[in-house]
Amino acid sequence: MFSLDAPLQPAVEGFVDPENGESQHSTHLNNVIMQIHRNTSIQDLITLLGPQLTHVQDKRRSRATLLLAEVLTRLPELKLTPETTHLLLFFFVERLSDTPSLGPCLKALSALLLFHAAAVPAADILLLLESLFSLPSPIPTLGQAMRKQCFELMSIVLRLNVVDAHGPRVLMEGFLAAMDGEKDPRNLLLCLQLASSLLAAFPSHVDRDLALLFFNITSCYFPITFKPPPNDPYGITSAQLVAALRNVFVGHDLMAKHVVPMVLDKLSRTTVTDMTIDMLDTLAFCCTKYPLNRLLTQFQPVATAVYHHVLHGDNQGVIAAATATLRTIAKVVSPPSSLPGMQALAWNKFVVHVVQTALRDMQDQAMDSMVSLRAATVLTGVAAQSAAGLAFVLESSLPFLLSRVEAAKTAITSSCSSSCCSTPSSSQLEAALACIVGLLDCIDVDVDHVTPPILAHVESILTALVESFHFASTQLAATSTSSRPQRLCLQGLAKIVLRPPSPVLHEPSVHSLVDLWTTIVLTHPAADVRAEATAALKSTAIKSTVLAHYVRARCLPPLMQVVEFPQACASSQRSVDDAHKDVLAVMLELSTEPSMFMALVLPMSQLALGVTSHGAALHMHPYAKDIVAAVASIVRQNQSNVQCVDACVLPTDSTITPLVQLLVDSVVHNVRQQHDVSVGDAVSAALVPPTATILGVVMQHGSSQAQETLLQYVLSLFLAAHASEAALQLMPLLGAVLYSSGAALATIAPSLPTLVPLLLELAQGVATSAVQHAARTCALKSIASLFNAMPDDALLQHYLDHVTSNKRPTDQQADPVAAVVHDADQPIDRRLSALQLYLHVTKAIVLRGHATYVPIVFNFLWALLSVDELKIHVAQGFHLIVQDFPDVLGSVNHAIISPVHRQRSFSLLFPLLSSKEGMNMEKRVVTLLVVAHTPHAILLPHVHDILPLAVDALNQKEQPYAALVGHPALVTFEMCFEHDPQLVYGYLNQVFPGLLWQAEHCVAVKDRVAALACLSGLAKSKYELIHPHKERVIKGLLGPLDDRKRTVRQAAVKVRNEWSIL
C-alpha cells in the first residue's frame, strides 16, 4: 500500500525484485518517487541501488536502472548539480552497452536531456551520440519500441541544438544508419519527420555525398502505399507518411538532382492509378519548393511527363492530377521571380515547351478529337496561372484557333450547299469556340493590369464570336439540334465584358453587345440561348453602374414595348402568351440590380393598370394580372434590399405616385366599382393577391418609416369604407399589413378600439361564399397578429377577457367568444366559427407566453375535448396552435415569440394527460401533437409515460385520427428509441405492426420514409429480440415496395435487405 512515510530501502528492494507483480511494482515506485520528492537526494537513491546496479541477474540490473530512469522522468523539477548531471549522463552512456538495461538507459537519457539540458555540455552530447550509434546490437536490429526510443532521443538532441562542430555530421550519418530498412509505420513517420528536420537544421553540413545518402535511405519508400488497418489505435494515416516523405525530398536543394529523375522514372513505369496521382502531386510539391536553378535541367522532362499524362491519362483522376501539376509548375516559373534570369530559362523549358507541343498536337488532329480537347486544357491551364501565361498562350494559339473557326464554318457552308449537312464540322466549330471561351475564362478578375493581356486580341475575338453566333444561328439552326455553339459565343462575349477589372471594350462595342443580347432574348427560337443572353444582360447590369445604365437605356425600352403591345413572335415560334411570359421572366432576372428595379416596377404597374406617368387613367392592360404578378415577384426577389423595398412606399419624387399607393388605389377603386355597377371583373379581383404580396414584403422587410406609412395608409382606407362585399374582397390587403404590423403597431394604437371589434365581428361570422371565407380567414390571422403584438395593457386585457370569459354580459354587449363556443343552444356553425377565433387567439398568446391567460385557454380547450360535437374540431385545431404559419406569427412578421413557449405548453398539458381522468382519443391526439413539437431535452424525464402513447398512436387506423397522429407518433417514437432503446424493446409486439402500417398508409412521403427508417434502426437491435418478427416485417414491406414514390421504394428495398440477412 502506498504510504507517505514508507522507508526508502524496502521500496527500492520491492521495485527491483522481478518476482513482484505489476501492482506491487507500481506501489513501490510511488513510494520511492514521494521520498525523493520530499527529502531524499538522488545520491542516496544511487547508494541504495549500488548492489542492484551491478547485480549479476539481468532483470535486477535492468530494473534498478529503470528505477533511476523513472525518478528522472517523473520528477522534472529535480535539482541536479552540473557534476551530478555529468556523472549520471556518463553512467547511462556507459550502461548502453548492457543490452538488458538499454531501454531504461534510453529513457533516462531522454529525461536528462529534456529536463536538465542546461547542465549538459556539447562534449557529452557527442559522447552520447557516438555511444548510441556503436551499440553492441545495431539500432536496426532492436525491437520496435527500443528503435522508437532511439529515434526520440535523436529528436531531443536535435531540438536542443547544443551539438558541437562535429555533432551534426555524426548525428545525421548515425541516424541514417539507424533508419536504414525501417518498416514499422509508427517508427517510419518519426524517422521521416526527423530526417526533414535534420536537413533543415544543418543545411551547411549537407554535402553531395550526405544528400545522396539521405536520398538512398528514404527514396525506397516512394511511393507510399500504406493503408492503416481498421480501428488503428495509433491514428497513423497514409497522408501523414506521404507529407513527411515529401518534406524529406525538399529538405535540401541538393536533393533535387536525385528526387526529380527518380519520380519521373517511376512515373514512366507505373500503371497504378493511386501511385500515378501521388507521383504527379509529388512533382508539383517539389517544383514549388526547389529553387529554379536546381531544376533547369529537369523542367523539360517534367513538362513532357506531365503533358503525356494530361493527354493520355488512364482515367479522370490521373488527368485531373496531371492538370493540377501543370498549373502549379506553370505558376512557379511565371514572372515575377527573385531570379529573373533563371525564371526566363525555366519559362522556356516548361511553358514554351508544353504550349508548343499542345499546338502541334492540335494542328495534327481534328479540333473535336480527344487529343485536341485535352491539349486545349493544357493551354487554359497555363493561361490561368499568370498574366504572362495568358498573353503567351493568346499570342501563340489565338491565330490558329481563329483559323480553325473559319475553316469549320467554310466546311459547314460547303456541306450544306452540297445537300450533305450531316458533317462533323459543326462539332469542330464547337470545339474551337470552347477553347477560345476557355482562354477568356482565364482573365484574372482581381488583378487590374496596366495593359491587360487580352487587350491586343479583343477586337479579333469579338468579331469572331459575333460572326460565329450569326453563322450558327443561320446555318446550323436548321441542321443541328444542339445550340451549344451559339451559347459558347454568348458566354465568350459576356466574359469579354465581365471578367476584366477595367473595361477593354469601347462604348459602341458594349452598346452593340447589349443590343445583340436584347434581340436574342426577344427573337431567338432556342430557349437555352435566350436564357444565356438573359444571364449575360443580368451579369452586365450587376457588374457596374455604367454597364447597368447601358442595359437600362438600351434593353428595357424594347422589353417594355413587347409588354405593352404583346404579339406572337414568328422568328422564335412563340405564341402571344408565351412571348409575353418570357419577357416578364427576363425583367424579373434583370431587376436584381437596384437601378433596374427602380426603372421597372412603377412603369410596369402603370402599364398594367392603364395609368400614365401623369396620372391619367386609361384602359387596364389585357395582361394586367400577369404584369402585376411579375411586379410582385420582382419586389419579393429584392426583399433583402431595404432601399428597393422602401421605394415602393416612400416617394422619391413628390410628383410621382409610389408603387403601393398606385396599386392599392387602383385595385380598391376597380373592385368597389365592379360591385357598385354589379358587373363581374375577374381581372380586378385577380390583382388583389399580388398586391397583398407586395404589401407583405414591405411590412416584413421595409424600414420602420415605410412600415408605419403603409400601415396608416391602408388602415385609413378600410376604416373609412362601408361594410360590403367589395370590402370583403379587399380584406387580403388589410391582412397583409396587419400580419406583420408588430414593429409599427404603436402608429395605429388610437385606431385599435375601432379596428379590433370589426375584425372580431367578421371572424365570428358564418362564411357562405369563397370571398367571405377568405375574408374571415384574413380576419382570424389579423386578430392573432394584433393580440400577439399589442402591449400588455388594459385594452388587451379587455379583449382577452371578451374572448376567454364564459359568462354572458348583462348589458347589450356581444357574447364572449368562449361563451358562444360552450353554449350548446347556439347553432353549430356559429360555435365552430367562435372556436376557430378562440384557437387563433390561443396561438397568439401562447407564442408570447402570457402568464395569465395561457393556463385559462388550455384548460378551456382541454375541457372542450370532452364535448362530443366539438372534440374532434378541437383536436384538429391544435395543429394550428403547435405548427408555424408561413405568413403570420413568425419572426419575419415581427411577432413576439417566447423562447420557452413550447416547454410551457407541455408543462401545462402533459399533467392533464397523466391524470387519466376521462381520457379519450381526442385528448391523446392533442397531447401527442404537443409532445411532438416540444424540445427533446424537456421530454427525456417523461419518456416512460410518452412511449406508450406513441406506440398506441402508431397503431391507430381509424380516420381522421390516423391522419392526425401519424407524423407526431413517428417523431415521438424516434426520439424515444434514440434515447432509450431498451425501453422500446418491451413494446416490440405493438411497434412492428404500427411501423409497417405507417410505412404503407401515411399520407406524407417523408412520414412513410421515416417509418421505414425506424424499421431499419430496429434491425440493428439484439438478434434474439427481433428475429421472431423477421417474417412479419419482410411480408409487411410488400406495400412500401410497391409504393408510388421512388424514394419510398428505395428505402423499402434497403430495409428489406437489412432484415433479410439477419
Mean pLDDT, range 120-128, rounded to an integer? 85
| pLDDT value, residue 250 | 94
Give 962-979 pLDDT, tens digit per residue: 888 888 889 999 888 888
> Domain end: 119, 144, 169, which one?
119
pLDDT confidence bin for 278, thresholds 50/70/90: very high
Query: Considering its fold, how many domains does the chain have in total?
Result: 3
Q: Which of 317-331, 439-453, 632-646, 715-729 comes out lowest in average pLDDT?
A: 715-729
* Ramachandran area for residue 1044 (φ above 0: left; ψ -120 to 50: alpha; else beta): alpha
| pLDDT value, residue 982 | 87
> Where is mean pLDDT largest: 505-514, 617-626, 957-966?
505-514
Give 438-473 pLDDT, tens digit per residue: 999 999 988 888 888 999 999 999 999 999 999 888
> Domain end: 119, 146, 162, which one?
119
In a domain, 1005, yes or no: yes
In a domain, 698, yes or no: no
In a domain, 1014, yes or no: yes
pLDDT at 32 over 70: yes
| pLDDT value, residue 179 | 93
Give 904-949 pLDDT, tens digit per residue: 888 888 887 666 566 788 888 888 888 888 888 888 888 888 888 8
Mean pLDDT, range 1047-1056, rounded to an integer? 92
pLDDT confidence bin for 1, thresholds 50/70/90: very low
Rounded percentage of the chain residues whose pLDDT exceeds 70 = 94
Closest CA to 789 of 873, 850, 877: 850
- Judge if 991 and 906 occupy the same domain: no
| pLDDT value, residue 2 | 42
> Domain end: 119, 134, 161, which one?
119
| pLDDT value, residue 482 | 76
Q: Taken in order 84, 89, 90, 92, is the CA torsion positive or negative? A: positive
> Where is mean pLDDT largest: 184-198, 659-673, 740-754?
184-198
- Judge if 995 and 1041 occupy the same domain: yes
- Judge if 909 and 771 occupy the same domain: yes
CA distance 488 to 204: 56
Q: Which runs of consecutive H residues, i.e. helices, occur in 444-575?
A: 458-471, 484-498, 507-523, 527-543, 545-554, 556-564
Looking up cell 531504461 gives 104
Using alpha carbons only, give the angle 566, 569, 571 rounded to the nearest 5 degrees: 160
> pLDDT: is 770 or 522 the higher one?
522
Closest CA to 618 of 609, 605, 627: 609
| pLDDT value, residue 721 | 64
pLDDT at 711 over 60: yes
Closest CA to 517 of 560, 472, 556: 556
Maximum C-alpha span of the chain: 124
Cβ 551 vs Cβ 596: under 8 Å: yes
| pLDDT value, residue 986 | 85
> pLDDT: is 281 or 866 the higher one?
281
Q: What is the DSSP string of 683-706?
A: HHHHTHHHHHHHHHHHHHHS-HHH
- Judge if 901 and 1009 occupy the same domain: no
> pLDDT: is 618 or 169 the higher one?
169
> pLDDT: is 125 or 465 the higher one?
465
In a domain, 499, yes or no: no
| pLDDT value, residue 422 | 46
In a domain, 894, yes or no: yes
Mean pLDDT, range 950-957, rounded to an integer? 87
Closest CA to 607 of 560, 647, 570: 560
| DSSP letter, residue 920 | -
pLDDT at 655 over 80: no
User: What angle do the packed helices 853-864 and 901-914 form, to 10 degrees?
Assistant: 40
Mean pLDDT, range 487-506, rounded to an integer? 93
* Gyration radius of the chain over CA positions: 42
| pLDDT value, residue 283 | 95
> pLDDT: is 428 or 769 the higher one?
428
pLDDT confidence bin for 722, thresholds 50/70/90: low
| pLDDT value, residue 1046 | 92
CA distance 567 to 818: 59
Strands (E), 419-467: none
Give 524-539 pLDDT, tens digit per residue: 988 999 999 999 999 9
- Judge if 1004 and 883 occupy the same domain: no
| DSSP letter, residue 815 | P
- Judge if 769 and 908 occupy the same domain: yes
> pLDDT: is 954 or 354 the higher one?
354
| pLDDT value, residue 480 | 60
CA distance 162 to 148: 22
| pLDDT value, residue 339 | 60
- Judge if 827 and 930 occupy the same domain: yes
Mean pLDDT, range 356-385, rounded to an integer? 93
In a domain, 842, yes or no: yes
pLDDT at 675 over 70: no
pTM exceeds cut of 0.85: no
| pLDDT value, residue 618 | 62
In a domain, 866, yes or no: yes
pLDDT confidence bin for 155, thresholds 50/70/90: very high
Which grid cell is 844?
A: 397568439
To the nearest whole number, what is the mean pLDDT of the chain?
Answer: 87
Mean pLDDT, range 103-121, rounded to an integer? 89
Give 280-303 pLDDT, tens digit per residue: 999 999 999 999 888 888 999 999
**CA dihedral defined by 448, 450, 453, 459, rounded to 10 degrees?**
100
| pLDDT value, residue 14 | 85
> pLDDT: is 413 or 649 the higher one?
649
| pLDDT value, residue 76 | 87
Looking up cell 360555435 gives 831
pLDDT at 428 over 80: yes
Mean pLDDT, range 165-184, rounded to an integer? 89
- Judge if 891 and 991 occupy the same domain: no
CA distance 877 to 884: 13
| pLDDT value, residue 677 | 46
> pLDDT: is 480 or 186 the higher one?
186
- Judge if 929 and 1009 occupy the same domain: no
| pLDDT value, residue 961 | 82
In a domain, 398, yes or no: no
For residue 426, what are the CA distances in angstroms to 180, 423, 720?
61, 7, 69
Q: Which of 60-74, 240-254, 414-428, 600-614 comes out lowest in average pLDDT?
A: 414-428
- Judge if 908 and 997 occupy the same domain: no
Cβ 1033 vs Cβ 992: under 8 Å: yes
- Judge if 929 and 974 occupy the same domain: no
Query: Which residue segment(s) compose the domain that 56 sits in?
Result: 1-119
What helix, strand, coil percent values describe the chain, rounded to 5?
75, 0, 25
pLDDT at 823 over 90: no
pLDDT at 208 over 90: yes
- Judge if 974 and 884 occupy the same domain: no
Give 327-341 pLDDT, tens digit per residue: 999 999 988 755 667
Closest CA to 10 of 22, 21, 29, 18: 29
